[in-house]
Amino acid sequence: MPGNIASSERAYQEGLKDILSKSIFNHSKVTIQTEKLSQTIKQRFPELASADIELPLLGQLPNVVLTPAEPVILLVTQNGVFYLGADGKTLARTDQVTANALGGLPTVRDDSGLVPEPGKNGLPKQTITTVIKLLRLSASANIDVESLSLPISPNEIDLLAKGTTSTVRFSLDQDPRQGIGALLALRDKFKSDNISPSSYLDLRVPDKAFYK
Q: Residues 54-62: what's their mean pLDDT?
A: 73
Q: Residues 128-148: what's their mean pLDDT?
A: 96
Q: Residues 23-31: what's their mean pLDDT?
A: 68
What pLDDT, on the 0 to 100 scale, is given for residue 1?
47
Contact between residue 141 and residue 184 where contact means Cβ atoms under 8 Å apart:
yes
C-alpha distances in angstroms, 70 versus 19, 108, 146, 157, 212? 24, 17, 24, 23, 40
Q: Is the confidence at residue 75, as pLDDT, over 90?
A: yes
pTM, full prediction: 0.88
The chain-wide mean pLDDT, for the chain, equals: 91
Contact between residue 170 and residue 147 where contact means Cβ atoms under 8 Å apart:
no
